[in-house]
Amino acid sequence: MKRVLIANRGAVASRIVRALDALGVESVAVHSDADAELPYVRQATRAVRIGGPSACESYLDQQAILRAAIDQDCDGIHPGYGFLSENAGFARGVEEAGLTFIGPSSRWIALLGDKIRAREYFRPLGMPMLASSDELHSLQDLEDAVARIGLPVLLKPSGGGGGIGMTPIHQADQMAAAWERSSSVSAKAFGASSLYAEQLAVQPRHIEFQFLADRHGAVCCLFERDCSVQRRHQKVIEEAPASGIPVQALSAITARLEGIMADIGYDVIGTVEMLYDPRHGFSFLEVNTRLQVEHAVTEEITGVDIVAAQIRLAYGARLDDVLGASPQRHGHAIEARLYAEDPVRFFPSCGVLEAYEFPDGDGIRVERAYGPGNRITPYYDPLLAKVIARAEDRAACIARLKQALAATRIQGVKTNIPFVLRVLDDPAFLGSAYSTDRH
């Protein structure tokens, strides 16, 4: 490793720069015209303008990013999360250019990026799953699938993510409208209208399992995270470990997943996302073949630098050398995603950050995307920062996060901090009696 290009922006770009610095590796930040003044651009060893303000003109321009990496004599590209991080064609292009793609091998991204193919692949390997259909091509296909699976079902794009295009169907007379909505949204968001139907779990928890793996056959699960607090299927609060789920159930599914991922020879980094409800237990959702936004909560309870580990593993390091002793976890960590958005209707809020101040203190970590005076534009996801609290137990962790958010000062745009504070005070959250269905 000598020099790595970061094909991303904001908070994750700053996080990757920090990991590369710790490894003694130079970093090259690419930026759009809209992001030229963001902190990550100054933090990197070098910076390169990649294009105009929109994502299509910049962070999604595969050829421009590859040219920049080659021109800057980089030997690797870290895609962060979002944008091109799960684009199999881009990963393959990086590999064919003789560079290291800092993520799983492109074949895993291609296979697991399609939810139908992923389910077909994992089902015979013993992955627990809810009943689902094959690919649906028409409303008649949907009706036939519902007759077999039973209601309620969730209609989902096979190539999607982030909850985009998912439509619950509770009654038969909802099928036609659901089909029109999901196929239209899927075509616009993912370039294809491929859909499938899955049995709808009632009041489930969203639990995910963090994996690191080397290219020599070794796999390690760094325990679980609870990501059940969501709005519009987007995660807002994540925590580790998961509370209110039987320890025996968590231990059993962790061992089962670790065995499956080792058997298939998965590599570098990935997260297996599951639903949990007492009736069905754990059931498979998808594998995210990238670094997760919420990786910090796992880092806080294990002491593992997941980003540095991802980089070293992509370059061929052995898992034992990266992790040392078998990772253990201690304490509790909770992350709140702070967005520039209206806290009631959740519409994005644009403007100049007149104030952007966060508290320091024991057990508080802040991953910043911006700095004072920076402009929040309409071109990208409105994530402002991530605030992570760590404490010895969950109650103390919640109290510490509330104190940190109360002391946070952001002016110039609206934020979702009032919403997050309401969640942290909600009796269902405090009692670990919540689910993705709670609004």
CA distance 267 to 192: 28
Tokens of 177: 């409208």
Q: What is 114-166 written as a DSSP string? A: SHHHHHHHHGGGT-----B-S-B-SHHHHHHHHHHH-SSEEEEETT--TTTT-
Annotated catalytic residues are: 290
Q: Please answer whether residues 375 and 351 qualify as being in contact, where contact means their C-beta atoms are separated by less than 8 angstroms.
A: yes
Q: Please answer whether residues 392 and 378 qualify as being in contact, where contact means their C-beta atoms are separated by less than 8 angstroms.
A: no
Give the other-Cβ count within 10 Å of 364's Cβ. Answer: 17
Residue 34 is classified by DSSP as G
Query: Distance between alpha carbon 118 and the CA centroid of its chain, in Å?
Result: 17
Type of residue numbered 45: T
CA distance 87 to 92: 9
Q: Return the exposure string of 228-264: e unless at least 16 CB atoms fall within 10 Å of the residue's CB, then b.
A: bbbbeeebbbbbbbbeebeeeebeebbebbbebbbee
CA distance 134 to 178: 17
Q: Tokens 């049995």 map to which residue? A: 199
